Structure 1
Amino acid sequence: MRLYPIIIFAAAAAPATAVEVNVVYLERQTVRPPVLSNLDERPEDLGIAGARLAVEDNASSGKFLGHDYRLDVLQVAPEDAFDPALLGDADLIIADAPPADLNALADARPDALIFNATGSDDGLRAGGCRTNLLHSTPSDAMLADALGQFVASRRWEDLAMIVGPRDEDAALAETYQQSLAKFGAAIESEKIWPFDADLRRSAGAEVPLFTQELGEYDLLLIADSADDFARYVPFNTWLPRPVAGGAGLHAKGWAPVVEQAGAAQLQSRFVELAGRDMAPEDFGAWVAMRSIGEAVTRTGKADAASIRDHVLSDEFELAAFLGRPLSYRGWDGQLRQPVPLVTAEALVAQAPLEGFLHEVNEMDTLGVDRRESECRAFDGG
């Protein structure tokens, strides 16, 4: 377990109404499952760098208002037991942690405000939701709905899917199925990924024969929660068809290829800070810290209750370089945001797509809407 300060900004000649904003970034480190490829290394500052950049952004306006921002980082190693007491009396927390730890923290610290910056698990937003746990990153349902809208817009009717061998892959496949059903599509053929060999050598021989059995289809979805095998499927399929989900076309909360609406400027500032591209985890942490900063700017208060009330109110909007102001849903604490649909080279589309309408906010066509939500803890539920 390590606790260390990342950055402190003090306002020069602060007025008598100076406000100190102390935030803890909790990283509950986990052991990643073994995967076929070691090409994707996890940056040591994943998520943390996004929060650091947002502290700089908050401080640029906060210095004129007497608002001081401090970010501390608490890292808990995989072999260490997680004890919410490690966070002391912190009441503003940005967390990168598994669902069980997030729920334990929320239950142990009911007066704190916790932002889940990285976890997409739908269960956190469902019947077991916590009113002091908000989500600044898209849910699995939102990401799947972005793909579902794209499929529906292209009028692709014959779909196939490959599902990985893990329980998490099966859960992701079910989310895809539910989303496609919402938009009038369905999976016609499905296979479980059977290979545990080194496909870096044999993908060109194995994958064509494996996908031949899927028959005819317009699009191949891949449910690969660990980003393991999906990379070996495109251009190795029996039929020349587009691939989406775990490879090919991705639905992401953020991606380096997002450049419009001022995003290129955010990307370049992040690269200057971290020396790498901004990942979805970084963006989720950036949004969480900026949400805190926006609430402090508007209310002049830095306590968890005041920030939560403002963030969940109709008055809250956050400009976040996605072309539309972001806000939080009052029934489950989920951030509303457009979802980029990207390849490694370019932004293909951004959901919600044109034609998918909602009586209140078109971004609520992504994920669980109010009338569908199982979350009953929030006032808006």
Structure 2
Amino acid sequence: MRSIRSKTKNGRLCYGTHPDFDRGASLIRLLLAGIFLFGWTSASTDAAEINIGYLRRIDPKSTLSRIQTPADNDGIAGARLAIDDNNTTGRFLNQQFSLEDVRLAGGANAVAATIALVERGVSLVIADLPADELLKAADAGSPRSLLFFNVGASDDRLREEDCRANVIHTTPTRSMLADALAQYLVWKQWRRWLLVVGSHAEDKLYGDALRRSAKRFGARIVQDKVFEDTGGARRTDSGVVQIQRQLPVFTQGAPAYDVLVAADESEVFASYLPYRTWDPRPVAGSAGLVPTSWDGSHDQWGAVQLQDRFMKQFSRRMTALD
């Protein structure tokens, strides 16, 4: 019991005890005992192991230039850095994280790889897969309580008619990216769009998303054109010159527009659009002003320290997939 000092009615000081101090002291002793018991229990038990799989396709992707070719560790590098960070703090929570990289090439089966991961004790999978393969893998993992994180497929249908309960999406959809771009262009008062869409299926999906966003945010598409991929060699001198010569003429005679918006996920022509349009106009979409979930200019919420650690460990800059 702790003594306290108080004044009586006649102004004299008196000493005594107060029950609140007894309860407070007991509570402190109880908390100290709990902390000691927790520390002793944590030290005496094995760390909880969380096994994570990284499932990805490594088939080469055609790009307009070698500078744009993704690094071999694109995506997995960010996961490895996250594992290192989690294991640093995991020591205090008695947790240990591990990462297994599973590469699929050619005709490799994503379903078989998923089942193999489960058999090796993996409970979480980071999936960098096309939409159809992701759905098959998720269906195979569902009865086995496997949780997927979609980091690569931006198809809107994965959140709509093809939604799966065991798939969490961290990559933005095409509609999200198109909405972000449209809001900025409208804010800049670039409301008149010349829309150029590639001839591949992915290009058309992105084009559809851009059309919806234009209507949603009050932009107007003054002309909607398709750039056909004729199958020429992208990296040969003749192929490059051919596309470069086509673009000024391709954009000639268009109605008055404020910005050219390109949908070219297949990377056939969009990178050649900036500074090559017939009229001097900004370019957005798949080239020029590109909507993305990550950019190296981001420097808030610890991003500078994160990028410094990433650069030191992998000798390159982070990408959106990382």
Q: TM-score range by the shorter chain?
A: 0.7 to 0.9
Matches of 2:146 and 2:310, distance apart in 1: 28
* 1:18/1:204 CA distance change after superposition, 3 Å: closer
The CA deviation string for residues 230-270 of structure 1, in whole angstroms up to 9 with x for no partner, is 11111011111110001110101112232334322211111
Q: Does 1:23 align with 2:52?
A: yes
C-alpha deviation, 1:206, in angstroms: 2.5
State the identity as a percent.
38
Counterpart of 1:98 in structure 2 is 130
Matches of 1:158 and 1:38, distance apart in 2: 33
Counterpart of 1:148 in structure 2 is 182
Counterpart of 1:86 in structure 2 is 116
8 Å Cα contact 2:55/2:129 also seen in 1: yes
Q: Does 1:39 align with 2:67?
A: yes
C-alpha deviation, 1:127, in angstroms: 1.2
8 Å Cα contact 1:208/1:238 also seen in 2: yes
* 1:35/1:75 CA distance change after superposition, 3 Å: closer
Matches of 2:43 and 2:72, distance apart in 1: 35
C-alpha deviation, 1:227, in angstroms: 2.6
Matches of 1:25 and 1:207, distance apart in 2: 40
C-alpha deviation, 1:200, in angstroms: 2.8
Counterpart of 1:313 in structure 2 is none
C-alpha deviation, 1:69, in angstroms: 1.0
SS of equivalent residue, structure 2 residue 51? strand
Residue type of the partner of 1:52?
R
Counterpart of 1:325 in structure 2 is none
Matches of 1:17 and 1:141, distance apart in 2: 45
Q: Does 1:246 align with 2:280?
A: no
C-alpha deviation, 1:48, in angstroms: 0.7
Larger Rg: 2
Matches of 2:55 and 2:183, distance apart in 1: 34
Counterpart of 1:332 in structure 2 is none
Kindly report the root-mean-square deviation, in angstroms, between the aligned alpha carbons of the 2 structures: 1.9
Matches of 1:194 and 1:228, distance apart in 2: 9
User: Normalised by the size of structure 2, how large is the TM-score?
Assistant: 0.78
SS of equivalent residue, structure 1 residue 108? helix
Counterpart of 2:248 in structure 1 is 208
8 Å Cα contact 1:14/1:63 also seen in 2: no
Count of paired positions:
269
Counterpart of 1:60 in structure 2 is 88
Matches of 1:193 and 1:26, distance apart in 2: 33
Matches of 2:148 and 2:229, distance apart in 1: 40
Counterpart of 2:311 in structure 1 is 271
Counterpart of 1:336 in structure 2 is none
Q: How does 1:1-381 map to 2 (within 5 A)?
A: 14-16=43-45, 18-32=47-61, 34-82=62-110, 83=112, 84-89=114-119, 90-110=122-142, 111-194=145-228, 196=230, 197=232, 198=238, 200-282=240-322
* 1:68/1:177 CA distance change after superposition, 3 Å: same
C-alpha deviation, 1:36, in angstroms: 4.0
> Structure with the greater relative contact order (CA < 8 A, sep ≥ 6): 1 or 2?
1
8 Å Cα contact 1:158/1:187 also seen in 2: yes
* 1:104/1:54 CA distance change after superposition, 3 Å: same
SS of equivalent residue, structure 2 residue 162? coil
Matches of 2:89 and 2:213, distance apart in 1: 40
Residue type of the partner of 2:45?
A
Matches of 1:133 and 1:229, distance apart in 2: 33
8 Å Cα contact 1:255/1:280 also seen in 2: yes
SS of equivalent residue, structure 2 residue 68? coil
| Bigger share in helix | 2
8 Å Cα contact 1:158/1:217 also seen in 2: yes
What 5-or-longer segments of structure 2 have no aligned partner?
1-41, 233-237
Residue type of the partner of 2:240?
R
8 Å Cα contact 1:15/1:65 also seen in 2: no
SS of equivalent residue, structure 1 residue 88? helix
8 Å Cα contact 2:229/2:268 also seen in 1: no
Deviates more, 1:181-190 or 1:196-205: 196-205
* 1:14/1:255 CA distance change after superposition, 3 Å: farther
Residue type of the partner of 2:56?
E
SS of equivalent residue, structure 1 residue 249? coil
C-alpha deviation, 1:203, in angstroms: 4.9
Residue type of the partner of 1:187?
I
8 Å Cα contact 1:156/1:218 also seen in 2: yes
Residue type of the partner of 1:270?
F
Counterpart of 2:37 in structure 1 is none
